[in-house]
Amino acid sequence: MDDHQKSSIRVGTADILDKLTAEEPNVDFTWALGADTFIDLASGKWRRTEDIFRMVGYRMIVFRRKEGEQQEKDTQSSATQDLINESVAKLQLVDEAESSIQVVNVDALTSASSSAVRRTTNESDLKVLLTRDVLEYVKQHALYSFGDES
């Protein structure tokens, strides 16, 4: 298989979890992810959403940026928290016996959102969010929105 063929292969989260659970059937995996990613997953935007939740037994840790006084007034931040709470409540109804979704506020997380990075090709914005080396890597390898230009 040449490099071009390798780069065109898409392996999703469910595929990785299939492999992990097959290789380690006695391990109870817990998945850690950011709030934006959790909201997208819980709303069914991912391929094999239900399989992903089932394979980790609905055990997840959702990392959320801790809000400062200014952010608490932001309706977008409040809407995000509402979406997280609604999603967690719905998912916990699915399988109460095993469901364990914890939301953790993390002071150290910056305002740099992976979702924002994936959506933009605006280099001025990205220079604030990413280190120079990471931005160059993203551009060189046509990752995220940079890959959509072809």
Q: Please report, for residues 45, 56, 102, 147, the alpha-carbon distance to residue 29 in angstroms, rounded to integers and kept in the order given.
A: 22, 5, 14, 32
Work out how many domains the chain is built from and give that number: 2
Mean pLDDT of the chain: 79
- Tell me: the pLDDT tens digits for 105-149? 887 666 667 777 777 888 888 888 888 898 898 888 888 777 664
Q: What is the pTM of this model?
A: 0.65
Same domain as 119, residue 93: no
Domain range enclosing 143: 110-150
Q: State the pLDDT at residue 106.
A: 82
Structure tokens, 119: 């959506």
Composition of the chain by helix, strand, coil, percent to 5: 55, 10, 35
* Cα 83 to Cα 5, 107, 125, distances in angstroms: 38, 20, 26
Judge if 29 and 14 occupy the same domain.
yes
37-93 per-position pLDDT tens digit: 899 999 999 999 999 999 998 899 998 876 554 444 444 567 777 888 888 877 766
